Amino acid sequence: MKEQLATIKPGHILKNTMNALVYHGPQQKAWEEKPKPAIQVATDAIVRITKTTICGTDLHILKGDVPEVQAGRILGHEGVGVIEEVGSAVTTFKKGDHVLISCISSCGKCSYCKQGMYSHCEQGGWILGHLIDGTQAEYVRIPLADGSLYKIPAGSDEEALVMLSDILPTGFECGVLNGRIKPGDSVAIVGSGPIGLAALLTAQFYTPASIIMIDPDDNRLAVSKKMGSTDVINNKKEDAVAKVMQLTNGRGVDTAIEAVGIPETFELCQSLIAPGGTIANVGVHGKSVELHLETLWSKNITITTRLVDTVTTPMLLKTVQSKKLNSKQLITHRFKLSEILKAYDTFQHADRDKTLKVILSNEAD
C-alpha cells in the first residue's frame, strides 16, 4: 500500500483543491487555492488546463470596467486542455480528449444560437471568467460542453491554438467581418495590441489595398509592419487624422476598426471614416463615448458593435492548421501558470516589456 501511494503525484489525484487567479475587486487579484470544479449539470465537462493566456478584457475587469464580475471570481476565458470528466449528457467529447476552449459557451439550440449569435446564448454566452469561474486555473468547468469545446487534431501546436479561444475570432468577426472589408479597400486599425493585430492578420484574407495601423507604441507598430500593415502612425508623435487624410487623398478610410476601448480611440475612428464607410467597434468600453452626429449625420456611414460569437472558429482552426495563418507570432512571453502574477505584470506593462500575448503553461503534472 505504501508503495502504491508513493507513485501518486502530490496534488494530482488525492487533492480536491487547485490553484487559480482570483479577482477580489478593482485592482485586486491573487493566486490562491480554490476547490477543484465538479460536474454540476449533465452537459458539463471538467478540463485540466494545459495552456492559457491573459486577455485585454481581463485588464478591463481589473480596472472595474465590467461590474458584473464579482469578487471571488476566477478570471480567464481562453485556453486548451485535456478533459478529465464529462457529464452524462455530453455526447461529442470523452475523458482524455484534447480540446480548445471557446471564450463563448453555446447551447446551440436557443433562438440566439440558431441565428449564430452564440454570444447571446440564453444559457451561455460570455460567462467564463465573467459570470462563472474561468480558465486561469489548473482546472475549469465548461458548461454546455458539446457547443463550447473543439477537438484538437493530433500534432497541433497548443500555443498557436490558444489564440483561437478569443483574439483571432474576435478580431475577425468584430473587426473584419463587421467592418465589411472588401478587396481594394482602405482600412485603419486604431490600436496595435493583440486584438488589433488579430484584425490585421485576418483582414488580409480580403486583400484590402491598405491597412493603416495607429498606436502610440513604436514597437507594436514595427510588429504590425512585419505582419502586413502598409502604413503605421504613432498618434503620440503625429496628427493621425492629418496623416490618414494624406494617405487617402483627403477621403478617409473605408473601414475604421476601434481595437482599444477608450473614448479617445472611438472618437478618432469617427474622424477617419470616409463617406459610406464603416466604423467597427471591437474594444470593451467602460466609459461613455461621444457620437459626433453633427459631422457624421450626412456621411452614410455604418457603426457596428459586436461581442464575438466564435462562429468562425472552425474555419480559423483549419486556416491555422494549414499554416495559412500564423497565430503563434502574436506570442511574445511564456510563463509557468504558477507565475501568473508575474505574467500579469508583464502584460500590463506592454510598453516596457514589448508584450503582445503571453502563454501560461500548467506544469502541475
Flag whether pLDDT at 205 surpasses 60.
yes
What 3-state DSSP class applies to 1? coil
Flag whether pLDDT at 312 surpasses 50.
yes
Beta strands in 123-245 (DSSP E): 139-142, 149-151, 186-190, 210-214, 231-233
Q: What is the mean pLDDT of the chain?
A: 94
Beta strands in 98-247 (DSSP E): 98-101, 139-142, 149-151, 186-190, 210-214, 231-233
Flag whether pLDDT at 339 surpasses 70.
yes
Flag whether pLDDT at 211 surpasses 70.
yes
Position 286 scores a pLDDT of 87
Position 363 scores a pLDDT of 81
Mean per-residue pLDDT, 152-174: 95
> What is the rounded distance in angstroms from the CA atom of residue 185 to the CA atom of residue 182?
6
Q: What is the pLDDT of residues 107-154, one digit of tens each?
A: 999 999 999 999 999 999 999 999 999 999 999 999 999 999 999 999
Mean per-residue pLDDT, 88-109: 98
What 3-state DSSP class applies to 131? coil
Q: Can you tell me which residue has the cell 502604413?
A: 231
Integer CA distances (angstroms), 40 to 43, 230, 304, in order: 8, 50, 37
Mean per-residue pLDDT, 192-214: 98
pLDDT-derived band at 364, boundaries 50, 70, 90: low
Flag whether pLDDT at 168 surpasses 70.
yes
pTM, full prediction: 0.92
Mean per-residue pLDDT, 342-363: 96
Where b means 16+ CB within 10 Å and e means fewer, 249-271 reads eeebbbbbbbbbbbeebbebbbb
Q: Are strands 210-214 and 186-190 parallel, antiparallel or unpaired?
A: parallel
Position 257 scores a pLDDT of 98
Q: Are strands 45-52 and 139-142 parallel, antiparallel or unpaired?
A: antiparallel
Return the percentage of the chain with pLDDT > 70, whole number: 96
The half-sphere exposure of 86 on its side-chain side, counting CA atoms within 13 A, is 20
Q: Quick check: 273 and 301 in contact, CB under 8 A?
A: yes
Nearest to 157 by CA among 352, 340, 326, 332: 326
Nearest to 305 by CA among 293, 289, 320: 289
Number of neighbours of residue 135 by Cβ within 10 angstroms? 29
Q: Please tell me the least confidently modeled range out of 8-12, 242-246, 268-272.
A: 8-12
Q: What is the pLDDT of residues 6-39, one digit of tens each?
A: 344 444 445 799 999 999 999 999 999 999 999 9
Q: What is the DSSP code (8-state) at residue 287? A: S
Position 53 scores a pLDDT of 98
Position 353 scores a pLDDT of 96
